[in-house]
Amino acid sequence: MATSVVGLDIGHGVLRAAEVAGGATAKPRLMRYHEVTFPADATREGEIVEQDVLVRALKQLWTAGKFKTRDVVLGVGNQRVLTRDLSVPKVPLDRIKEALPFQVQDLLPIPVADAVLDFYPVAEAQGESGPVIQGLLVAAAKASVLANVRAVQAAGLNPIDVDLSPFALTRALLARQSGRGTLALVHVGATTSCVVIATEGVPQFVRIIPSGGDEVTTALTTGLGLSAPDAERVKATQGLIRDAYPPELVAASETVIRVTDDLLNSIRNTLAFYRNTRPNDPIAAVVLSGGGSRLRGFPAALEETTRLQVELGDPTNRFALARGIDVHALPSVLPAMGVALGLTLRSAS
């Protein structure tokens, strides 16, 4: 068995990969991390539409990153991934998974035959007819998952597992938050954001929101005519801080705040839904991650919107760092590393 594994996060125009040894141990070791960009139109809403482009980018990633293994764990977490609460009679987990296609059709927006199904157990309880297992149903569009797998295989890599990106984030950012009760993890990506609510590191609730940081960039470039680099610079240097904008960029200020307010409201409504359905399980704090969280002023705005303490997550806290890791370069990529790192924690050995 390989001594290390690579967690692969296929993002919007960027591939992120982390090679980890000892992922099942108390202190896994991050051996290598690397990112490469590719034309964003090679994917659409998180799904690969130009396999050849992805294959070239994957080969470039492996060469530039100097990864020593070709064993890969893939993350999935696009808009076509659905999670729902599900309670089933208490039987062995393999039997629960075998029975899912016959039990969940009414919960899915697509035919069962077109979906990849999984079940994540959360707790045991006593139902009307006996013991039950409460958990999360996960359903992903089969075509989307297979497209990712085929691209990885075409690049000469060996996909050994596929996992839900929000679960990977939970392992990387919340697994060692014991004693703190229930925490909300908010990960702001480029085109989607996800909210995971976990109690003592065990996910209880997952929602994927179909908006992210790129919506601000798009609004600035299409609405105000800024170049993409200028838009990114505005996000990083002025962001949501009105007083930071010079007079000639007042319109940009209004655009950034308006678009970001939509995302903040979606996050707030998601947390409110959880509170309403689980009134006896208060959320203690929010852990924030994702490239979109680097928008200046976003953590404070999220804190104000949710009325919860917001902390910036550090997915490397669980890891020892190999000598080859450039610790000086880590801060620039840290917010976006969580998925790739978390994917390795289940399958590395």
Residue 155: predicted pLDDT: 97
Q: Is the pTM of this model over 0.85?
A: yes
Please write the tens of the pLDDT for every residue from 320-341.
999 989 888 899 999 999 999 9
Cα separation values, 321 from 105, 173, 312, 330, 348, Å: 45, 16, 20, 11, 16
pLDDT for 279: 92
Q: Which residue(s) pair with 18 in the sheet?
A: 7, 33
Mean pLDDT check: name the lowest of 73-87, 145-159, 246-260: 73-87
Q: Are 262 and 292 in contact (CB under 8 A)?
A: no
Domains and CATH numbers, the chain: 81-141 (3.30.1490.300)
Q: What was the pLDDT predicted at 3?
A: 84
pLDDT confidence bin for 179, thresholds 50/70/90: confident
User: What's residue 348's pLDDT?
Assistant: 43
pLDDT single digits (tens) 114-136: 999 999 999 899 888 889 999 99
- pLDDT, the chain, mean: 93
Look at residues 169, 196, 205, 187 and name the one whose alpha carbon lies nearest to residue 318.
169
> CB within 8 A of 28, min separation 6: which ones?
20, 21, 22, 318, 319, 320, 344, 345, 348
Q: What is the mean pLDDT of residues 291-301?
A: 95
Quote the pLDDT of residue 106: 87
Instruction: Please check the confidence at residue 1 and state whether its pLDDT lies above 90.
Output: no
> How far, in Å, CA of 307 to CA of 84, rounded?
26
Asked whether 53 and 41 are in contact (CB, 8 A), the reply is no
Q: Is the pLDDT reported for residue 64 higher than 90?
A: yes
Q: In which band, very low, low, confident or very high, does the pLDDT at 178 lie, cut at 50, 70 and 90?
A: confident
Give the pLDDT band (50/70/90) at residue 270.
very high
Q: Which of the two residues, 160 and 25, has the higher pLDDT score?
A: 160
The pLDDT value recorded for residue 235 is 95
pLDDT of residue 347: 52
pLDDT greater than 90 at residue 13: yes
In whole angstroms, what is the distance from residue 196 CA to residue 81 CA?
14
pLDDT at 177: 74
Instruction: Check whether 46 has a pLDDT greater than 80.
Output: no
How confident is the model at residue 349, as a pLDDT? 37
